[in-house]
Amino acid sequence: MKFGYTIIYVSSVEETLVFYKEAFGFNVKFLHESKDYGELETGETTLAFASHEMGSMNLDGQYSKTNINDKPFGIELAFVTEDVHAAFKKAIGAGAVSLKEPSEKPWGQVVAYVRAKDGLIVELCSPING
């Protein structure tokens, strides 16, 4: 068994892919012609997005849609970067919503939190040296 990929259901796959490129610098790996499914180039593990329509089809509507106006779900995406301050500024400039500005944790890691346009929490963090 190995972790293969994460799929996040969103209102617009195409708009979400554009946002993640502008906010976090990830290039589009794949966008299906239906525009109901797409993937980003994120390294070894794939980050993918699927439309709410596909989610309803796959799960018979038995999931909760993310919404930027509601409290975020108890899950986050974590993106590791050498410059959290610059990544945070770039994300906010692309339309992410600030949850917590960059700060240093007791173990030396710099961490910031934003909400993506689709409502998910994104952690921007420096590598853990240890």
Same domain, 85 and 47: no
Same domain, 61 and 72: no
**Cα–Cα nearest to 122, from 25, 3, 54:** 25
pLDDT tens for 61-94 read 788 888 888 888 889 999 999 999 999 999 999 9
pLDDT at res. 40 = 97
Report yes or no on whether pTM surpasses 0.85.
yes
**Cα–Cα nearest to 72, from 2, 121, 21, 10:** 121
Q: How far is CA 52 from CA 27, 91, 122, in A?
A: 22, 24, 20
pLDDT at res. 31 = 97
Q: What residues make up the domain containing 48?
A: 1-65
CATH number, domain containing residue 92: 3.10.180.10
Same domain, 75 and 89: yes
pLDDT tens for 5-31 read 899 999 999 999 999 999 999 999 999
130: pLDDT strictly greater than 90: no
Angle between helices 13-24 and 84-93 (to 10 degrees): 140
pLDDT tens for 29-38 read 999 999 999 9
What element of type H or E holds 86?
helix 84-93
Same domain, 116 and 97: yes
Domain count, the chain: 2
Question: Which of 16, 39, 65 is the last residue in one of the domains?
Answer: 65
As a residue count, the chain comes to 130
What element of type H or E holds 9?
strand 5-10
Question: Which of 65, 88, 116 is the last residue in one of the domains?
Answer: 65
Same domain, 76 and 52: no
Same domain, 54 and 85: no
